[in-house]
Amino acid sequence: MRERLPVEVWVLVAASFIIAVGFGIVAPVLPVYAASFGVGHTAVAALISAFAFVRLAFAPVSGKLVNRFGEPRIYIIGILIVALGTAMSGFSTSYAEMLSWRALAGVGSTMFTVAALGLLIRITPAPMRGRASGMWAAGFLVGNVAGPIIGAGLVPFGLWVPFVSYGVLLCLAAFVVWFFLRRSTLVEIDRTNTETPMSVRQAVRHPAYRAALASGFANGWAVFGVRISLVPVFVIEALEHSAAVAGISMSVFAAGNAAMLFLSGKLADTRGRKPVAVVGLVVGGLATIWMGFTGDLWTFMAASLIAGAGAGLLNPPQNAVVADVIGARGKGGPVLAGFQMVTDLGAIIGPMAAGLLADSFGFGASFAITGASLLLAVGFWFVAPETLPTHEDEHTAAAVAPECGALDESAEIPTGERVGGKPRHPEA
């Protein structure tokens, strides 16, 4: 009998879709709103980086909060904090005020991101992590396809309208998660599990985790940093099109990403995490370099679509590897936070470096360096072992790098963590 994803995974997918629609509404407007205060490219990029910087600084705290209070509670509180910070950003009267509200939103963002990934890992059978990660990411990406188009339509009503709309959608997402998971036994914290959570130091000893960190950094630079801070400006200034067209170009990237997520997740669970991640990095890196040297809108759209497909190939196997390293322990808050911190570090350095390069050497240099960061990450994956579970009761983290001695390979794995274990996965 073919296994099915737990219902709770679909709840997270639905919530991610709602969140992404709102994020997509704000994304193309954010740099334009910042530029309206009379600041340059570097300052606009700094607004994006500030959000990521706060996420980076608060990530260790988020990991501890998740382990202490459980994923659902931290998830909902985090979403509501982002809702407040984003809505108030729309009423900012100065660049400094907008910067402060974005920083507050960054605190909530890292809370719900770490909590969502932790919950997804804990409730999903090991051989289905690629598909679950792909579905969860697809919820974001499908929402991102529609979001920028909706946002462009809201701009004529005022630049503040997309920000308030995002705040409302975040409140809706928080309600969906609370309502459907409030009585779920699958998401309850296992109070009988007294194992010490895996530390970041232990995880870093695994080559596979280091590979995920390298690609996460490059992905943060390329996708969460440069795409949001630089692409809209490139379309408006270099290609001489409107903010509405800039929003559409971001939707094209998201569409390419979403189109590959389902295939990527399936391949990661059948063919292996490593080969899919390598292909994604190569495709994304080359297409990103190409984007900076396009001279017309349609060529840029094609390059953006391919770059999005590369990101779609990368995300499911990358997230699945992090889950494989955490393995059956379940308490992965610090390790997830470490992965999130490195991704956010890329999102901090990326847009800042891209803004400086664009101001000094032009857009081509910015996109070229960004693409190169993705290609450099391939080297880490070449030396990393495959982590796809080959047996239903295998503790994958122990199999990744047994010479590290980070885990007790002789420890019995709880029945609820086995693939198809009835107590934890009755839907399977």
pTM: 0.70
- Distance CA(11)–CA(15), nearest Å, equals 6
- DSSP reduced 3-state for 306: helix
* CA-based torsion, 70, 76, 80, 85: positive or negative: positive
DSSP assigned state of 403: G
Contact 141, 20 (CB under 8 A): yes
Sequence-ordered alpha helix ranges (H) in 362-415: 363-382, 396-400
| Structural domains in the chain plus CATH codes | 7-184+198-417 (1.20.1250.20)
- Distance CA(44)–CA(38), nearest Å, equals 10
Tell me what pLDDT residue 375 has. 93
- Distance CA(224)–CA(219), nearest Å, equals 7
The residue whose two tokens read 């605190």 is: 107
Tell me what pLDDT residue 276 has. 93
- Distance CA(165)–CA(333), nearest Å, equals 31
pLDDT beneath 50: ranges in the chain: 1, 392-428
Tell me what pLDDT residue 420 has. 36
Q: What residue type is assigned to position 400 of the chain?
A: V
Contacts of 196 (CB under 8 A, 6+ apart): none
Contact 180, 11 (CB under 8 A): yes
- DSSP reduced 3-state for 63: helix
CA atoms within 13 A on the CB side of 392: 7
Contact 9, 139 (CB under 8 A): no
- Distance CA(109)–CA(58), nearest Å, equals 10
Q: Can you give 17-30 as a three-state secondary structure string?
A: HHHHHHHHHHCCHH
The residue whose two tokens read 């382990």 is: 67
pLDDT tens per residue, range 178-200: 888 877 766 666 555 556 667 77
Identify the burial level of 365 via C-beta atoms within 10 angstroms of its C-beta, where 0-12 means exposed, 13-18 middle and 19 or more buried: middle
Contact 19, 337 (CB under 8 A): no
Contacts of 258 (CB under 8 A, 6+ apart): 138, 141, 142, 144, 145, 308, 312
The residue whose two tokens read 């569409």 is: 255
DSSP assigned state of 393: T
Q: Give the residue among 229, 260, 262 at the shortest CA–CA distance from 349.
A: 229
The residue whose two tokens read 């779920």 is: 184
DSSP assigned state of 127: G
Contact 186, 8 (CB under 8 A): yes
For residue 238, CA distances in Å to 129, 233, 350 come to 41, 8, 20
* CA-based torsion, 141, 257, 241, 38: positive or negative: positive
Contact 166, 40 (CB under 8 A): no
pLDDT tens per residue, range 91-127: 888 888 888 888 888 888 888 888 888 888 777 777 7
Tell me what pLDDT residue 408 has. 39
**What is the distance, to the nearest Å, from the Cα of residue 397 to the centroid of all Cα atoms in its chain?**
22
Contact 255, 306 (CB under 8 A): no
Angle between helices 243-270 and 273-291 (to 10 degrees): 160
